[in-house]
Structure 1
C-alpha cells in the first residue's frame, strides 16, 4: 500500500493516523472522566492527570501533522451519484471534528498551565506555560474542556453508527476504505470519503 492517498482510496499514512488517534482520543476521554472520581489519597490522583496531559500533547502533534497531510495530499474522489448535499455536510462535519479536537487541546493546555507550571510529556520534553493568571482561568477552561469533550464523544458515536450503517446496510466501501481494503469489482460503490459523518482525514 502506498503512503499517499489515491483517487480511489487512502494511503497507509492517513489510515495509520486515523487508527492511532481514534482510540487515543476515546481512551483519553475515559481517563479524564475516571480521574475526576479519584480522591486525594488515591495512588492515581497525580499520575492519571500526568498521563492525560502527556497523551493530549502527543495528540495535538498528531492533529497538526494530520492537517498538514490533508492540506498537501489528495482526497479520494466521490463515486458517481454522490449527492452534493452529502459532500457539503461531510465537509462541515470534518471541520467540526478538527475544531473540537483543537479547542479541547487548547483548553486542556490552559487548565494545566494556569498555575505557571509547564506540562511534562512523559519525561521526554516539557511545554512551557505561555498564558496564565487569567481570571478564573483553570475553572473557566475546565468547564469549556468538559463541554467540548462530551460534544466530541457524541459526534464520534454518530460517526461510528454512520460507518456501521454504510457497511452493513448500504453495503458500500466507506469502512473498507479506512481499513485499506479495496472494494470488490463486482460491488457498486456508493461511498465517498466526503459522506455524512464520514471519517475526517
Structure 2
C-alpha cells in the first residue's frame, strides 16, 4: 500500500490517522460522558480527567498533523457514481468535523487552564495556560465543549452512516478506500 494518497485511493498515512482520530474522539466522548457522573469519592474522579486531558492534547497534535497532511496530500477524487450533492455534503461534513474538533479541543484546553494551571500530558510534558486566571472562563468553555462534542459525535455518526449507505446500498468503493482495500 502506498504512503501518500493517489487520485483513486487513500494512502496508509491518511487511513491510519483517520481511524486513530475516529476511535480517539469516540473514546474521549465516552470517557467525558462517564466522568460527568463521577462523585468526588470515586477513585476515577481525579484519574479520568487527567487521561481525558492528556489524550485531548495528543489528539490536537494528531489533528494538526492531519490538516497539514491533507493540505500537502489531497484526498482521492470522488467516485464517478457520486452525485453532486453527495460530493458537496461530504465536503461540508468534513470541514464541519475539522472545525468542531478544533472548537472542542480548544474549549477543553480553556476549561482546564482557566485557573492558570498547565496541563500535564501523561507526565511527559506540560502545556501551559496561555490565558492565566480568567474568572468564569471554564463555564463558558464548558458549555462550548459540551455542545461541540455532541455535534461531533452526531455528525461523525451521520458520516459513518453515509459510508455504510455507499457500501451496502450503492455497492461502491467509498468505504473500501478508507479501509485500504482495492475495489
User: SS in structure 2 opposite 1:170?
Assistant: coil
Counterpart in 2 of 1:90?
Answer: 90
171-180 or 79-88: bigger deviation: 79-88
Name stretches of at least 5 consecutive residues in structure 1 with no aligned partner.
Answer: 184-201
Q: How far has the Cα of 1:81 moved from its partner? A: 4.8
Residues 111-158 of structure 1, C-alpha deviation per residue, up to 9 Å, x if partnerless?
A: 000111100000100100011333410111101100111111111111
Give me the TM-score of the superposition, normalised by structure 2.
Answer: 0.96
Counterpart in 1 of 2:174?
Answer: 174
RMSD of equivalent CA atoms: 1.1
Residues 38-71 of structure 1, C-alpha deviation per residue, up to 9 Å, x if partnerless?
A: 1101111000000000000000000000000000
Counterpart in 2 of 1:27?
Answer: 27
Counterpart in 1 of 2:80?
Answer: 80
Name stretches of at least 5 consecutive residues in structure 2 with no aligned partner.
Answer: none
144-153 or 75-84: bigger deviation: 75-84
Give the distance between the partners of 1:16 and 1:84, measured in 2 at CA: 28
Counterpart in 2 of 1:53?
Answer: 53
Q: How far has the Cα of 1:159 moved from its partner? A: 1.2
Deviating beyond 4 angstroms after TM superposition, the runs of 4 or more aligned structure 1 residues are: none
1:114-153 equivalence runs, <5 A: 114-153=114-153
In 2 relative to 1, CA 81–162 (structure 1 residues): closer, same or farther, beyond 3 Å?
A: closer
Aligned pairs, number: 183
RCO comparison, higher one (Cα < 8 Å, 6+): 1
